[in-house]
Amino acid sequence: MTSEAMTSEAMTDGSAAGSSGAPAATDAAWCDTLKSQFADISGKSVSVYTSIVAPEDKPQIDSYKAFEACTGVKVNYEGSKEFETQLKVRVSSANPPDIAFIPQPGLLKTLVEETGAVKPAPKSVADNVDKWFGKDWKSYGTVNDIFFAAPLGANVKSFVWYSPKVFKEKGYTVPTTYKELIALSDKIVADGKKPWCAGIESGVATGWTLTDWLEDYMLRVNGPDVYDQWISHKIPFNDPKVVAALEKVGEIVRNPAYMNAGIGDVASIAATKFQDGGLGVATGTCFLHRQASFYAANFPAGTKIAEDGDVFAFYLPAISEDFGKPVEGGGEFVAAFSDRPEVQAFQTYLSSDTWANEKAKATPGGGWVSANKGLDVANLTTPIDALSAKILQDPKTVFRFDASDLMPSAVGSDSFFKGMTTWVRDNASSQSVLDTIEASWPAS
């Protein structure tokens, strides 16, 4: 479960008010190139189907204006909260959209392998991706050695939200190592408060927050290579290394002295909406909340999100120095179900640096970044987005995609969620939970 799907659930009225408005670059070079590649597409239309619904669809729609002005193609946008199920229904009833933004590479793989309905990306898109994205990002959009889907947005999940204001009052400092993080937690406990808060309730995807925790810790405890083996099932899901990582998560998440600040006991994590889980950071009832960059959208209007503001986030520190600076993140990918020239022109536009910057400018409320190297950090309007972009572009960063999005959906969006929910709700043993998830891994 990834960024846009989650943020859309976290929608709050007016969080995306206003827009950058008129595109000025109609006669720019990118436009001439695009028009020379795709002739005679003016007056045609392209349908786009996504999980991004009002009000967060506005920046998306606004960011297409430059394309529409340049090519004369009309982009029909449709967002649905039932996106993932309904996309499958639409494909199986031969009624697919032209373009869908797919938040999980695992879903892309399923669609490609089972329906054959996804069209391979044209060369113009592959060229853009080669130029603007890292190889790993291209690989997420590749199935069976065919490149299908260019990356769109991205997000960084390895963040801990805190309140700079409260930290200043209490004399706490932002930890830069894992040891400091635990020391800080203990200090808060010594001050008579619980430090951490969390919530994982999220409808069909209840539990995804904790899968992110485990993934972050897999990278930190076992490193990226084991992480990759774990995703591809070269090591079993219940490998002792995974048990060790989950136990490490438990040291914070299932620690009754740490959890669940301002909300209740450890079990209350399961019953708390993920959107509400970290709100205590802004109100001062909670001090630390591990959650992705897109959580910014959940704070009430008027909350200053900056390094010197009401709330901000710091990078969840590495546990050892063996594995560089591990970062877990997610993103969505542009899959096409039609190869009409106007559709391919739109794909080309979306994979360009032009669009990334247009989108940044069209998102004054923040909450959006891209792994596109052509994205000018100066165009990002909020400090948290700038921080995310900086982390994504940092050469020391070892980026790994959200594992649950890459695993088969029977695991990645089903048993993994459920297992983690049981783990925290019923205090089930780490071993037994991982055994159950392993048993659900589809045989092939």
Interaction site with another protein (CB under 8 A): 9, 11, 13, 49, 54, 57, 77-82, 84-86, 88-90, 92-95, 97, 110, 112-118, 120, 143-144, 146, 148, 203-206, 263, 271, 275-276, 409-410, 414, 418, 444
Q: Of 77 and 178, which CB lies nearer to another protein in the complex structure?
A: 77
Question: ω before 55 within 30° of 0 (cis)?
Answer: yes
Q: Of 57 and 328, which CB lies nearer to another protein in the complex structure?
A: 57
Separation CA 126–CA 121 (nearest Å): 7
Q: Of 36 and 444, which CB lies nearer to another protein in the complex structure?
A: 444
Q: Of 81 and 165, which CB lies nearer to another protein in the complex structure?
A: 81
Classify 375 as helix, strand or coil: coil
DSSP per residue, 92-109: HTT---SEEEES-HHHHH
Q: Of 182 and 271, which CB lies nearer to another protein in the complex structure?
A: 271
Q: Of 244 and 410, which CB lies nearer to another protein in the complex structure?
A: 410
Q: Round the CA-based radius of gyration of the chain to a whole number and report it.
A: 21
Separation CA 358–CA 379 (nearest Å): 9
Smallest distance from the beta carbon of 118 to another protein, in angstroms?
7
CB within 8 A of 174, min separation 6: which ones? Answer: 162, 167, 314
Smallest distance from the beta carbon of 316 to another protein, in angstroms?
26
Smallest distance from the beta carbon of 146 to another protein, in angstroms?
5
Q: Of 13 and 225, which CB lies nearer to another protein in the complex structure?
A: 13
The residue written with tokens 């947005």 in the block is: 153
Q: Of 36 and 144, which CB lies nearer to another protein in the complex structure?
A: 144
Smallest distance from the beta carbon of 215 to another protein, in angstroms?
22
Residue 22 burial (C-beta neighbours within 10 Å; 0-12, 13-18, 19+)? exposed
Q: Of 164 and 419, which CB lies nearer to another protein in the complex structure?
A: 419
CB within 8 A of 127, min separation 6: which ones? Answer: none
Query: Helices (H), strands (E): how many in the chain?
Result: 23, 11
Smallest distance from the beta carbon of 91 to another protein, in angstroms?
9
Nearest to 159 by CA among 301, 369, 409: 369
Smallest distance from the beta carbon of 112 to another protein, in angstroms?
4
Between strands 45-50 and 99-102, the pairing is: parallel
Give the Å distances, CA to CA, from 192 to 26, 188, 197, 268, 383: 60, 7, 15, 20, 32
The residue written with tokens 């769109």 in the block is: 152
Smallest distance from the beta carbon of 268 to another protein, in angstroms?
10
Smallest distance from the beta carbon of 72 to another protein, in angstroms?
18
Give the Å distances, CA to CA, from 82 to 9, 85, 261, 367, 402: 11, 6, 32, 22, 21
Separation CA 20–CA 368 (nearest Å): 15
Smallest distance from the beta carbon of 439 to another protein, in angstroms?
11
Q: Of 94 and 378, which CB lies nearer to another protein in the complex structure?
A: 94
Question: ω before 357 within 30° of 0 (cis)?
Answer: no
The residue written with tokens 């920046």 in the block is: 59
How many other CB atoms are found less than 10 A from the CB of residue 260? Answer: 25
Separation CA 326–CA 317 (nearest Å): 9
Smallest distance from the beta carbon of 158 to another protein, in angstroms?
26
Q: Of 178 and 441, which CB lies nearer to another protein in the complex structure?
A: 441
Q: Which amino acid is at 408?
A: P
Smallest distance from the beta carbon of 362 to another protein, in angstroms?
16
Separation CA 397–CA 418 (nearest Å): 30
